[in-house]
Amino acid sequence: MATHTQLIYHIVFATKSRAATLEESQKKRLFAFIFQLLKNKKCFLYRINGVEDHVHILTHVHPSISISTLVKDIKVSTSIFIKRELVFKNFNGWQEGYGAFTETINTKDRLIDYVKNQEKHHEKISFFDEYKGILEDHGIAFDEKFL
């Protein structure tokens, strides 16, 4: 019997100290790099986007990869890429931790739109409030001092 999975994750992580270092003019280079990394790991990227202080990734994760390993690989590889290629001049790394939320195929299209429209979304809401809302929507207990 073949293996069949539908492992969709909404991954969110921020720049160190939530510094506004992801310049609009260079984000496409970062996103293309992440797309290729995911493709090499047999993951399917539905959508990637972000603003100056954080990134959202909506992806199917190959069943042979743990989510913690995938996010670690993305953060380490992109940090090396950004510094080597001088993609963002003021980038000082990624914040510790991340959010990874399982999603159903039924919410995929809504989440694609949500990730696609990050710039518009953040005209009205801060990353802090957005992330708190995501945690609350998924029933995850948290202490605000650690966000």
Q: What is the pLDDT of residue 130?
A: 92
Q: What is the pLDDT of residue 99?
A: 97
Alpha helices, DSSP H, located in 49-126: 67-85, 108-116, 118-121
Q: What is the pLDDT of residue 121?
A: 86
Is residue 59 a contact partner of residue 38, using CB atoms and an 8 Å limit? yes
- What is the full per-residue pLDDT of the chain (147 aa) written as tens digits? 888 899 999 999 999 999 999 999 999 999 999 999 999 999 999 999 999 999 999 999 999 999 999 999 999 999 999 999 999 999 999 999 999 999 999 999 999 999 999 999 899 999 989 999 999 999 999 898 888
Run of H or E residues at 12: strand 8-14
> What structural domains does the chain harbor?
8-141 (3.30.70.1290)
Q: What are phi and psi of 140, to 5 degrees?
A: -100, 125
Q: What is the pLDDT of residue 57?
A: 98
pTM: 0.94
